[in-house]
Amino acid sequence: MREGIVMRKLALVTGGNTGIGRVLALAFAKAGHDVAFSWVSRPDMAESLVAEIEARGVSAMGLPCDVGVEAEVLAFFDAAERQFERAPDILVNNAGIQTWAPLLDLDESDWDAVIRTNLKGTFLNTREAGRRMVAAGKGGAIVNIGSGCNKLAFPNLVDYTASKGGIEQFTKSAAVELGHHGIRVNCVAPGAIINERTVAEAPDYAASWSAITPLRRVGTADDIVGPVLFLAGENAAFVTGQTLWVDGGVFTQANWPQR
């Protein structure tokens, strides 16, 4: 094990207020790292997350920042660097949205919003983290949150699938370009993860996804923590450009006719 002693680092998480992002922000704090996170709505959630992170004995910053707007991303990184007096060591590109429509009915505005948030947001935050990591000269780790849509076509999720497929390829390009700076870029692709959002979208979410998942359950945000911390940490020091499927096997299984 390389991680007997954990060095205190600065971890940035986009879209930290809710769901997977919130659990990841708390997990980095529990691992002894300072945490900065971005959010767009619900300042009360941001305030309570800062308090929960700081209760773990590390420092926290939550800043409103739309990941798809360059000026806001620059301001987020500037504020984090000012508060923590260091460049980021870890970035998790977690912020993401979904809209649902068949291709022929998909609105341009939905397409733009999803691509801007999920794909452009990943680009803008990675570019900014990468610039600062390179300037600091101490390497870094970036983990992008993908989805089964990285490799499969899901019904009524054309824009989301295009954005996550883009993240799959962006991860590889960024890993290749940033590798010689000691910056690793990987992707974690969750399967069906139960949370407020997914249950609101489908009340029978747990039952329907458990039935088709080889491990016969849905995941929780806690299932994402270990894989993200692994890819962000020294135990993955020689791992870059990879996607780790954290999905109970659901997207490994072939769509096979019943016998």
* Torsion on CA atoms 108, 201, 41, 49, rounded to nearest 10: -140
Which range in 33-41, 74-82, 125-133, 236-244 contacts ligand NDP by CB under 6 A? 33-41
Please give the backbone phi and psi of residue 100, each rounded to the nearest 5 degrees, phi first: -120, 120
20 binds ligand NDP (CB under 6 A): yes
17 binds ligand NDP (CB under 6 A): yes
197 binds ligand NDP (CB under 6 A): yes
Consecutive H or E run containing 246: strand 243-246
Side-chain half-sphere CA neighbours of 220 within 13 A = 2
193 binds ligand NDP (CB under 6 A): yes
Side-chain half-sphere CA neighbours of 133 within 13 A = 26
50 binds ligand NDP (CB under 6 A): no
145 binds ligand NDP (CB under 6 A): yes
Q: Which two tokens stand for residue 105?
A: 């009915």
166 binds ligand NDP (CB under 6 A): no
40 binds ligand NDP (CB under 6 A): yes
With beta carbons less than 8 A apart as the criterion, state whether 218 and 225 touch: no
Which range in 13-21, 24-32, 168-176, 236-244 contacts ligand NDP by CB under 6 A? 13-21
Please give the backbone phi and psi of residue 120, each rounded to the nearest 5 degrees, phi first: -65, -35
Sole binder of ligand NDP in the list 49, 53, 66, 119 (CB under 6 A): 66
125 binds ligand NDP (CB under 6 A): no
Distance CA 43, CA 49 (A): 10
Least distance CB 100 / ligand NDP (angstroms): 13
| Catalytic-labelled residue, pool 76, 111, 160, 251 | 160
144 binds ligand NDP (CB under 6 A): no
Is position 205 annotated as part of the catalytic site? no
Consecutive H or E run containing 145: strand 140-145
Distance CA 82, CA 66 (A): 19
**Tokens 């060095």 map to which residue?**
7
Closer of 51 and 135 to ligand NDP (Cβ): 51
Closer of 8 and 127 to ligand NDP (Cβ): 127
Consecutive H or E run containing 224: helix 221-232
Consecutive H or E run containing 185: strand 183-190
244 binds ligand NDP (CB under 6 A): no
Positions annotated as catalytic residues are 160
Binding residues for ligand NDP, rule: CB under 6 A, are 14-15, 17-21, 38-42, 66-68, 94-97, 117, 145, 147, 190, 192-193, 195, 197-198
